[in-house]
Structure 1
Amino acid sequence: MIFEATPLDGAFVIVPEPIADTRGFFARLFCATAFRERGLDPHLDQISISHNVETGTVRGMHLQRPPAAETKLVRVTAGAIFDVIVDVRAGSATYGRWFGTELSAANRKQLYIPKGFAHGFQTLAPATEVTYHISCGYAPELATGLRYDDPDLAITWPLGQAAVISDRDFAWAPFRDFSPVAASHD
């Protein structure tokens, strides 16, 4: 696995290194030892899937506050997304900055998202499926989010406005009213 640092401290794009032969290829997608060697949280408690019917669907920008803050490892198993994270960690040098990258079934890249980041995506193809490996279970009382189209964040979505978005995701408060997430100590 190749760990490519993003401009946001602690977040990585992970690229598999296939070993190919006449049958096809084999590649590691996760290795707890490799994660620990880089100071990344290897604990994954839950695996979830998101199926998205239409191109242009937006999910996000989601996160959970401590003590249920989540580390996520995101991968696309069908279709493609523009995956986005926003640093919302109190005192972070990159607070309020975003990073986006294309994840697809074809490129097999993953995005490692540490605690203290909001996460969302826009589908780039119909029938897109996204798999999340998450460090803890869902805690609805600690769930929060950011508007995907907040002008203060100025996220550049490749397909512009959301073709499909939930009422909940469309109703998040402005970023200027968001309280930063306390830094993690684990």
Structure 2
Amino acid sequence: MLQSHNPPPGWTGLPIVLVGLMGVGKSTVGRRLATRLALPFVDADDEIEAAAGMTVAEIFDRFGEAYFRDGERRVIARLIDGRPKVIATGGGAFINAETRALILDQTTAIWLSAHPDVLVERVRRRDTRPLLRGRDPHGVLSALASVRDPIYALAPIHVASNRTPHDATVAAILKAIGR
């Protein structure tokens, strides 16, 4: 749950929104980044699950991806309320033109990128990814990257999330935002 925090000195006050493919570390990096900046952290997927009373996988199974994306768009619009915080989005959130326009207009958008090989290593740890169920993770992630990376690249800040500790990614973000 979000908590009220005072932003660090010199902070612009814009929410920071992390975008990128599944497995890139948006939630893990986001939590650590929020701690370093003394800001609240919110995971959009957690908020969607709380609002729906079911998991993301259950929403996909029961209602389909289009229904999920509509709910995701509404939840992210609610989270972007002008208060400083760090928000981790789902991998497809920034692909939605309306959601992307809101993120680009009202937040500091940061694209976390990683090679599909790195993503495959990370997503194999959890079996909760609806787009990967029963499919070849490398093939799916490579295909998604080819379509989505040009869209993610619209975020003004790009940070690589490679085979380094997540704290290295956090440090790179802090440097990119002048902290």
TM-score normalised per structure 2:
0.32
Q: Which has the higher helix share?
A: 2
Bigger Rg, which one: 1
Q: Which has the higher strand share?
A: 1
TM-score normalised per structure 1:
0.31
